[in-house]
Amino acid sequence: MDPTVAITGATSGIGRAVAEAFVDEGAFVAVSGRDGDAVDRAVAALNEGGGDGDDPAGVAWGARVDVRDEFDLERFFEGVAREAGPIDVVFANAAVFHGGPGERPIDETSYTDYDDTMRTNARGVFATVSEAVPHLAEDARVVVPSGGVARESRPGMGAYAVSKAAAEAVARGFAADLSATVGVVDPGLVATDLTGKERARDPESVAPLFVWAATEAPAEELNGERLGLREWKAATR
């Protein structure tokens, strides 16, 4: 049976690339984002090459969701379950970075930016998983993206680095307490609107890593742990 996949922050960057990869694999993909018009455009583009409209496999569905609002998430996951049944994969991808990477020292971060970053990137992961739980399939997996800034001090990363460390801790907490598999995936430096790095990997090049982690990686290696490019390449070479 093809999986049902729910993705937050799916209108651009890694989220959009992972959505495309799952549609190509024949999944039913539920996409979400803060901009409702962008969600509609993403769904339309994903469905151009998707399923036949009668079978949920290989098609996309979407809704406007702000992960800072748990009621948005509650409605989103209820909608996914109505459209396609129990959810096999949750990709808690939505995140923000106020300012440019390397340009936001934490001692210059405003309380407003700090609070919004933590509410989106850390509390947003907590709310995403919490609201997904009632709708998860028996062998569901939850994937939380992260990066080196979550565990290595780097100048100018401000509240973003703090929020990613917190998001990893949230994932480990759910891994300990849920029967579902919950883990962190680190794709390395990827060129997105958040990073703005010209020499980073394209989101499309790392999308298969997330698909692998969510569907094929040994559950015991993902649950409460962090998988990255090295593990993916070793397993798929």
Give the pLDDT confidence of 81-120 residue by residue, as tens digits. 999 999 999 999 999 999 878 888 999 999 999 999 999 9
Which two tokens mark 161? 């680095």
- 213-218: long-range contacts (C-beta < 8 A, 24 or more apart)? 213/141, 213/143, 213/183, 213/185, 214/3, 214/5, 214/89, 214/91, 214/141, 214/143, 215/3, 215/25, 215/89, 215/141
Q: Residue 80, SS3?
A: helix
Cα dist. 28→33, 54, 229, 234 in Å? 17, 12, 25, 28
Distance CA 22, CA 24 (A): 5
121-177 pLDDT, tens digit per residue, is 999 999 999 999 999 999 999 999 999 999 988 899 999 999 999 999 999 999 999
Distance CA 204, CA 24 (A): 12
What predicted TM-score, i.e. pTM, was given to this entire model? Answer: 0.92
In the CATH hierarchy, which fold is given to the domain comprising 4-236? Answer: Rossmann fold (3.40.50)
Q: How many residues does the chain have?
A: 237
Which two tokens mark 20? 């495309």
Q: Residue 112, SS3?
A: helix
39-95 pLDDT, tens digit per residue, is 999 999 999 865 444 444 479 999 999 999 999 999 999 999 999 999 999 999 999
Which two tokens mark 168? 């990893």
